[in-house]
Amino acid sequence: MRLIFLLVFLLGFNFANAQLFGEEKILNKENIDKERWSWGYFLGFNMYDFQIKYKDQGEDIAVEKSPSFSVGLIGNLRINDYLDLRLEPGVVFANRNLNFPDFVNQGDSFREVQSSYIHIPLLLKFSAKRINNFKPFVIGGASISHNLSSNEDNPQDNSAGQFRLKTQNYYYEVGFGIDFYFDYFKFTPSIRGVFGMGDELVRDEDINSPWTANIESLKTRGIFINFTFQ
């Protein structure tokens, strides 16, 4: 994930540097941003994490993160030259492992959390003025997701090896990116942070559960690196 971040940064820096300090360029896709509606798709990577707050101080639950991927569509409504409203429905896959302290048995201390989300953000995109064939922007908004692998309705809990999350969750998102204009399409790398707004944990039936009793709240947070084509 760090390598991908570095490559995106270097690509954007080199291209932007060429556009800023080179001679005036012929504008590619000159009228693409003047259309009232535009469409596209994105491919990307993500790194999901958990933000965990505890009722009592003790050894933290260790969260092991691993990169995964996402894919989706884009619908863009132009408001003016600098502001767009975007809907970006997609499918997001996320992998996290939890290691609970104070267990002797490895099977009791380890929980694998594999999630498949239908993720729907509604975002406002604030763009700078276009310079030759690139245009930086910041983006932010809110989103809702439906976790197809939540186990929320599973009658079994951690005592039977089942870690459960709520199916429907809400987030706020903020990020930045650069639009690059080529001869036949617009390419946009972007980086966005995703932050859960509500507690997602479904607690065990036992109020003294060693897995969930000490958790005050468990929220998703993550980083998206998306590559958009329009």
Report domain extents, the chain.
2-229
At residue 114, does pLDDT exceed 60? yes
Find out whether 154 and 204 touch, Cβ atoms under 8 Å: no
- pLDDT at residue 228, rounded to an integer: 95
Name the band, by pLDDT with cuts 50, 70 and 90, for residue 17.
Answer: low
What's the pLDDT score for residue 31?
Answer: 85
| Distance from C-alpha of 21 to C-alpha of 13, rounded to nearest angstrom | 12
The pLDDT value recorded for residue 122 is 98
Tell me which residue of 127, 122, 133 sits closest to 177, measured CA to CA: 127
Paired tokens of 64 = 């092991």
How far apart CA 126 and CA 122 sit, in angstroms, is 13
Average pLDDT (77-91) is 96
Q: What pLDDT does 28 receive?
A: 86
What torsion, rounded to 10 degrees, do the Cα atoms 169, 174, 175, 180 define?
90
**140 CB neighbour count, 10 Å cutoff:** 16
Which residue from 70, 39, 84 is spatially nearest to 225, judged by alpha carbons? 70
**CA–CA dist 58, 176 (Å, integer):** 37
pLDDT digits (tens, 9 = 90+) for 159-197: 998 999 999 999 999 999 999 999 989 999 999 999 999
Residue 11 confidence (pLDDT): 56
Confidence at residue 24, expressed as pLDDT on a 0 to 100 scale:
59
CATH architecture of the domain 2-229 equals Beta Barrel (2.40)
Return the closest-CA partner of residue 223 out of 51, 1, 41, 63: 1
pLDDT of residue 106: 79
Query: Would you place residue 108 in the very low, low, confident or very high pLDDT band (cuts 50, 70, 90)?
Result: confident
pTM summary value: 0.84
